[in-house]
Amino acid sequence: MEYAGLSHEEMATLQSGGSLSIDQADRMIENVVGVYGLPLGIATNFLLNGRDYLIPMVVEEPSVVAGLSYAARLVRQGGGFQTSSDEPVMIGQMQVLDVPDPAAARLRLLAAKEELLTFANQLDPIIVRLGGGARDIQVRLMDDSPVGPMLVVHLLYDVRDAMGANAVNTAAEALSPLVESLTGGRVGLRILSNLADHRLARAQGVVPAEALALEGLTPQEGVQRLLEAYAFAAVDPYRAATHNKGIMNGIDAVVIATGNDWRAIEAGAHTYAARSGTYRPLTAWERNANGDLVGSIELPLAVGTVGGATRVHPQAQVALKILGVSGARELAQVMAAVGLAQNLAALRALAMEGIQRGHMQLHARQVAMAAGASGDMVERVAARLVEEKVVRVDRAEAILAELRAQGS
Ligand code: MEV
């Protein structure tokens, strides 16, 4: 932990007993009866825009952290990840009902844009001082809905280093009376959209073909296997769902480690994947002019480094320190790279060796624990399960009973 410059206290925070206290938990949600633990691991080998990163990940699934570290090493061999991200602009939605003349009302709203933005910018002087605040007004006319026509007003609001739900919800609520007087309608819902498509993050990376000369394949065969695996997701939503799930294995783990809202990120990612009307993979894999594999990813990533659980949760603060990001935009870029690498890890394993082989050892340990093994018995039972190629709890229980009988 020297690399991340952690103090003894911060180190202790990462270890057992240093996590969220019951008092802190009690202030976060209602009816608290306990604190629920999950493993926190660190993925390595990440080179991003020329800088090294350690990636804290909170996840219960075996192979995710190891797979990510392995894939990051492959991309490192091609020069690492290049990333970018948009300004942190969120969408606050206002639903306007009972508008007598919706088409004309839309134009009245657009004509009053400056007035609306100026009003919104008076609400939170701090965010404006930091360089954020209201940026634009967009108005969409829904000709029909189950309750007739409606106008949907979008307030685009730069939330700087926050996830921004509070800031944008507050602004949407405050703007509503003005929207009502301009439209002659009635504002119904006022809430952010999780399809944060003004807040996209992107990553790309090259894997040299030679690095894919695995499992007895030539470099070009290795690249071809990966392209075929991607092609499956590109044409089939059933496969794309699983492909994207693997991407989110990595992204969610960092989202959770940093105290961010993983449901918001999930909602945005999957809606963005379906934006064309067909559910599509969030990554693309191609062969470049040199014959190497090149991957790219783009998705909305509304995450913050200030506010919410990022500041309340002691381990989230340490996770942010380990990452060493300057703010929300850089954090989103790291997450995009993680998503791309996690996808590479999965496709590599699936296309070359089948997922079960790599999973088996780690899975066997979980099964051994589920069967009641503890201490060094976990490894002993797991080793037997792998040897027998039967990774099942009933078998683990039988092996455990056998080993205990031998011991006593
Ligand atoms: C398992 O959690 C994730 C994978 O299914 C992803 C994929 O199939 O691409 C391995």
Q: What is the pLDDT of residues 349-407, one digit of tens each?
A: 999 976 556 667 778 998 999 999 999 999 999 999 989 989 999 999 999 999 999 98
Beta strands at 200-207 and 40-48: parallel, antiparallel or unpaired: unpaired
- Nearest alpha carbon, ligand 1 atom 6: 246
Predicted confidence at residue 256, as pLDDT, reads 97
Q: What is the distance in A from the centroid of ligand 1 to the CA of 75?
A: 19
Q: How many CB atoms lie within 10 A of CB 91?
A: 24
Three-state secondary-structure class, residue 388: helix
Distance CA(367)–CA(373), nearest Å, equals: 9
Local structure of 214: helix, strand or coil: coil
Helices (DSSP H) in 236-354: which residue ranges?
237-257, 262-273, 309-312, 314-323, 328-352
State whether residue 177 is helix, strand or coil: helix
Q: Is residue 300 lining ligand 1, measured as CB closer than 6 Å?
A: no
Mutational pocket test of ligand 1: of 242, 243, 266, 343, the residue with most ligand atoms within 8 Å of the beta carbon: 242
Mean pLDDT computed over 188-209: 98
According to CATH, the topology of domain 37-84+202-353 is 3.90.770
- Domain positions in the chain are 37-84+202-353, 89-192, 358-407
Q: For residue 57, give the nearest of 76, 43, 71, 46 by alpha carbon.
A: 43
Task: Express each pLDDT in 45-95 by its tens digit.
Answer: 999 999 999 999 999 999 999 999 999 999 999 999 999 999 999 999 999
Reference 351, options 71, 105, 109, 136; nearest CA is 71
Is residue 33 pLDDT above 90, yes or no? yes
Mean pLDDT of the chain, nearest integer = 95
pLDDT band at 16 (very low <50, low <70, confident <90, very high): low
Q: For the domain with range 358-407, which CATH number is right: 1.10.357, 3.40.50, 1.10.3470, 1.10.8?
A: 1.10.8
The whole-number pLDDT of residue 18 equals 63
> Ligand 1 center to residue 349 CA distance, Å?
9
**pLDDT tens string 152-198:** 999 999 999 999 999 999 999 999 999 999 999 999 999 999 999 99
Number of residues that this document lists for the chain = 408
Q: Give me the pLDDT at residue 185, please.
A: 98
What's the angle, vertex CA 202, arms to CA 71 and CA 296, rounded to 5? 50
pLDDT for residue 10:
84
At 17 the pLDDT is 58
Q: Which residues contact 47 (CB under 8 A, 6 or more apart)?
A: 53, 72, 75, 76, 79, 80, 81
Does 356 contact ligand 1 (Cβ within 6 A)? Answer: no
User: Which pLDDT value is given to residue 355?
Assistant: 58
Q: Is 89-192 a domain of CATH 2.30.40.10?
A: no
Strand-pairing partners, residue 372, are none
pLDDT at 408: 67
pLDDT of residue 308 exceeding 90: no
Return d(Cα 135, Cα 143) in angstroms, integer. Answer: 26
Question: How far is the C-alpha of 70 from the C-alpha of 68, rounded, in Å?
Answer: 5
| pLDDT category of residue 20 using cuts at 50, 70 and 90 | confident
**What's residue 357's pLDDT?**
63
Task: For residue 221, list its beta bridge partners.
Answer: none
| pTM to 2 decimal places | 0.90
CA distance 188 to 178: 13
> Model confidence over 260-306: pLDDT tens digits?
999 999 999 999 999 999 999 999 999 999 999 999 999 999 999 99
pLDDT, one tens digit per residue, over 102-129 is 999 999 999 999 999 999 999 999 999 9
Task: Output the six-digit token pair for 285.
Answer: 């894999």
CA dist., res. 59 & res. 38, Å (int): 6
* Most ligand 1 atoms within 8 A of CB, residue of 64, 245, 352 to mutate: 245
Number of H helices, E strands in the chain: 16, 10
CA 382 to centroid of ligand 1, rounded, Å: 22
pLDDT band at 5 (very low <50, low <70, confident <90, very high): confident
User: 19 pLDDT exceeds 90?
Assistant: no
Strands 133-142 and 89-97: unpaired
Q: Which helix (H) or strand (E) holds 293?
A: strand 293-300
Alpha-carbon distance of 388 to 382, in angstroms, equals 10
CA distance 195 to 200: 10
Contacts of 338 (CB under 8 A, 6+ apart): 43, 46, 55, 68, 250, 251, 253, 254
% of the chain residues with pLDDT over 90 = 88
CB atoms within 10 A of CB 343: 30
Q: Are 235 and 307 in contact (CB under 8 A)?
A: no
d(Cα 281, Cα 294) in Å, to the nearest integer? 15
